[in-house]
Chains A and B, each alone.
Chain A
């Protein structure tokens, strides 16, 4: 008993009934409620793009230079792949080039960010001493600190040296840092800034410095985990690459990997490798921090009940 195009009739009937029931269920879903999947990050933030900007800032690079480097490595990877005449390898090297650069510099970026955060905490102590011992006002203390920020914080604290709106300068410092801990400290500075300097000094003494040190301790522990994860991933990648280069150099093996079945095997091996790397990433996961929208904090500070 066959129907259209040789498909058995019972199959057509059962599949048709299933489609009708599925449509009915979809209509019920539409009537009863709509899921809010995809909510999480606010609409104007793209997590992937923001992460790229964070890495560039942590390296102390301009955003455009970072993107140019990524593009150059991807193109270079594809070109190397093309010269081997194994097309899948060209695509694979392109993907490795895209994700690999970020991974390769992630350790350096994390170490530099930690150095910047430590230096920021030192500058907070200097700021506190200038106000408490040197009897300076907040804006003049900020300007003094901004003029001698040290090499790590030169770009981040540049705005403090300018003068003008104190809150605006603190916001710009946080935005430039793209570091959760510095952003966090800037949020507290914005809220702690009142007409009385004593309140601000007490907030730095009792809240910012002790909590900042606790946050740095968490960050240091995360760096240890990240270093472990990266060391193992590098070792695994090197092993895989050496093995692959050795195999491709053998004529019979290279001929096999140019065939369709060889391509499938290569795909499976690559997928297994990336799955293992992903597994490693899940095992050695580092601490996450809340990121604050400093411009919105500034608005809320002006109109807290607005």
Chain B
């Protein structure tokens, strides 16, 4: 039975390759339908897409995975100058290097002791672990940069309200000036140094439209809120009132978040308290265990 398994696996692979080829070449599609599809592609109209694409569009979980692993978006959100290709090459280099070093170390261990200190496949497993860890780190950096950018924009609004009112500066100029004066350069990188052009490629007729596009593409809600406030100034609401109210709203939200966080912390704080048992047991248990095992050993 076990001997037949490799043949069965090969048969499955061959059948799979054949089915994929048939699907890719559209062999079962009528010739005129294929011609229409080609014309649609040439004219740039949206098509139904392949079976897999349609399935992905209908499955929210798959869409989420696709969205979360969108390297171009994640790198732009993290304000990284890496391209997806260079990020993958760098991750590959680190992964291979970890694999090589660990494999050499285990090989050296075998040469010294006569047996493998750890199974050789563990080097491969740890090398492969670098890839998900890199992605995790990139996602963390992207999320942290989003938070920092949103915080600077929210904190700049009070000054923006005054600058647009008493100094008659334009909204975008005021925000860019403030971004240059923050200790953290996250907002300056995005706005003043033109970092937003990486994802927000479409044309914008006004500042509010520009901020709306940045808010949507970089998923920073504060930009959309500033765009909305800028929209209200176009219909006669004074700029100082509009941006001050927005600043107040943002601080109210932060206060609500802080309260929710404090309430949750009261419950979650029991976890590290319970965890304190571990080092205490280690401190008492280790010498006791050592003494018992020494006594039994005679």
Contacts and interface: CB of A to CB of B under 8 A. Distances in A.
B156 interface: yes
A154 interface: no
B268 A283 contact: yes
A272 B240 CA distance: 52
Residue with the highest number of chain B CB atoms closer than 10 Å, among A37, A50, A270, A285: A37
B183 A42 contact: yes
A222 interface: yes
Given A207-B244, A269-B282, A304-B169, A290 B271 contact: no
B80 interface: yes
B99 interface: yes
B148 A40 contact: yes
Given A35-B80, A247-B283, A292 B268 contact: no
Interface string B68-111: 00000000000111110111011011111101110110111011
B61 to A, nearest CB: 28
A228 B264 CA distance: 12
A239 B276 contact: yes
A283 B265 contact: yes
Contacts of A296: 180-181
B54 to A, nearest CB: 33
A18 B106 CA distance: 15
A11 B81 CA distance: 36
Nearest to B282: A269
Contacts of B97: 18-19, 22
B162 A244 contact: no
Contact of A240 (B163, B180, B280): B280
Contact of B251 (A8, A218, A257): A218
Nearest to A244: B283
A29 B265 contact: no
B49 interface: no
A39 interface: yes
Interface stretch (A55-63, A143-151, A155-163, A186-194): A186-194
Interface string A1-34: 0100111100110111011011111101101111
Contacts of B240: 202-203, 206-207
A122 interface: no
Given A39-B185, A297-B181, A304-B167, A25 B96 contact: yes
Contacts of B251: 211, 214-215, 217-218
A118 B203 CA distance: 46
Residue with the highest number of chain B CB atoms closer than 10 Å, among A16, A26, A305: A26
Interface string A61-90: 000000000000000000000000000000
Nearest to A290: B155
Interface in B232-283: 240-241, 244, 247-248, 251-252, 254-255, 258-259, 261-262, 265-266, 268-269, 271-273, 275-276, 278-280, 282-283
Residue with the highest number of chain A CB atoms closer than 10 Å, among B111, B156, B266, B276: B276
Interface of B is mostly: helix
A28 B182 contact: no
Interface residues of B, number: 86
Given A19-B97, A33-B86, A207-B161, A293 B182 contact: yes
A60 to B, nearest CB: 23
Nearest to B290: A256
B164 to A, nearest CB: 10
A24 B89 CA distance: 9
B298 to A, nearest CB: 18
A13 to B, nearest CB: 10
B279 A29 contact: no
B177 interface: yes
B231 interface: no
A36 B79 contact: yes
Interface residues on A, range: 35 or more
Contact of A253 (B96, B101, B167, B287): B287
Contacts of B100: 14-16, 18-19, 22
Interface in A223-257: 224-225, 228-229, 232, 235-236, 239-240, 243-244, 247, 252-253, 256-257
A28 B89 contact: yes
A164 interface: no
Residue with the highest number of chain A CB atoms closer than 10 Å, among B87, B159, B189, B273: B159
A1 B57 CA distance: 53
A50 B183 CA distance: 11
Interface of A: 2, 5-8, 11-12, 14-16, 18-19, 21-26, 28-29, 31-37, 39-42, 45, 50, 184, 187-188, 191-192, 194, 199-200, 202-203, 206-208, 210-211, 214-215, 217-218, 221-222, 224-225, 228-229, 232, 235-236, 239-240, 243-244, 247, 252-253, 256-257, 261-262, 265-266, 268-270, 272-273, 276-277, 279-280, 283-294, 296-297, 300, 304-305
15 contacts: A22-B94, A25-B96, A33-B86, A35-B82, A191-B159, A191-B167, A192-B162, A194-B166, A194-B167, A207-B240, A229-B265, A256-B286, A268-B279, A277-B272, A291-B182
Given A5-B111, A217-B251, A272-B278, 14 more contacts: A11-B103, A21-B92, A22-B95, A33-B83, A40-B148, A217-B255, A221-B258, A243-B280, A252-B291, A269-B279, A272-B282, A287-B254, A289-B155, A296-B180
Q: Which 5 A-B pairs have the closest CB atoms?
A: A32-B86, A6-B111, A25-B93, A11-B107, A22-B96
